[in-house]
Amino acid sequence: MRIGVLALQGDFREHKQAVEALGHEPVEVRLPEELDTLDALVVPGGESTAIGKLATMYGLIEPLQKHIQSGLPVLGTCAGMILLAAGVTDGEQSQLGVLDAVVERNAYGRQNESFEADIEIRGFDRPVRAVFIRAPRIAAHGEGVEVLGSVDGHPVAVRQGHVLAISFHPELTEDRRFHQMLIEMAGRKTVGDGAHD
Ligand code: GLN
């Protein structure tokens, strides 16, 4: 499958490697038309304000919203989670609003900028080793958002239909289960589309 990786800023290269490791084709996305032939999309971690500004400059905000709203499965990690959400607790920035959630950026404070934790994820048979780097967490979310994993009672992995968002960085570990989940969502979509042929 062709899995797009938004390649404006941040650790998109590591996501490309994760996609390749699963035997799929990673596609760097910088232009709206590059969204047209994808089976799924990854929005990487990095700096969400920078990614949002670049996405605005490149005319990508509306095309991203359109594709995701019409069913393109998406995985957002860390800054990518922020980009997918509808709001942030500390002001305003460019966001896609495809995830019914408000995100608290840098939720773990300055002293604790990065840490690792083993987290139970709904549907996984063993915990993930989660790497948090200046990580956000979900401050509030709508009823349609399913919490897959939390730290200290705060959601850090959520899913709303075909929109999957996590606070941490699976692409920095060898654990490919979230990328696999994205690819499975894309597979279901293909089957669904095929039924109309
Ligand atoms: N703190 C960053 C932000 O607010 C996210 C950090 C990350 O993606 N590792 O955008």
Give the model's pLDDT for residue 190. 53
> What separation in Å is there between the alpha carbon of 46 and the centre of ligand 1?
5
pTM of the model: 0.94
Residues of the chain with pLDDT under 50: 191-192, 194-197
Residue from 57, 82, 66 nearest 167 by CA: 82
Question: Best substitution site from 78, 93, 116, 166 to test ligand 1's pocket, by max atoms within 8 Å of Cβ?
Answer: 78
Indicate whether residue 73 lines ligand 1 (CB < 6 A).
no
Q: 128 to each of 19, 20, 62, 106, 163, how far by Cα in Å?
A: 18, 20, 33, 21, 19
For the chain, counts of helices (H) and of strands (E): 5, 12
Indicate whether residue 133 lines ligand 1 (CB < 6 A).
yes
Indicate whether residue 106 lines ligand 1 (CB < 6 A).
yes
Within its chain, how far is the Cα of 7 from the centroid? 13
Give the model's pLDDT for residue 14. 98
Give the model's pLDDT for residue 189. 72
Give the model's pLDDT for residue 157. 98
Q: Phi and psi at residue 104, in whole multiples of 5°?
A: -95, 115
Give the model's pLDDT for residue 106. 95
CB 148 within 8 A of CB 121: yes
Give the model's pLDDT for residue 111. 59
Atom number of ligand 1 nearest to Cα 77: 8
> What separation in Å is there between the alpha carbon of 190 and the centre of ligand 1?
32
What ranges in the chain are assigned the alpha helix state H? Answer: 12-21, 48-57, 61-69, 79-84, 177-194
Indicate whether residue 45 lines ligand 1 (CB < 6 A).
yes
Indicate whether residue 131 lines ligand 1 (CB < 6 A).
no
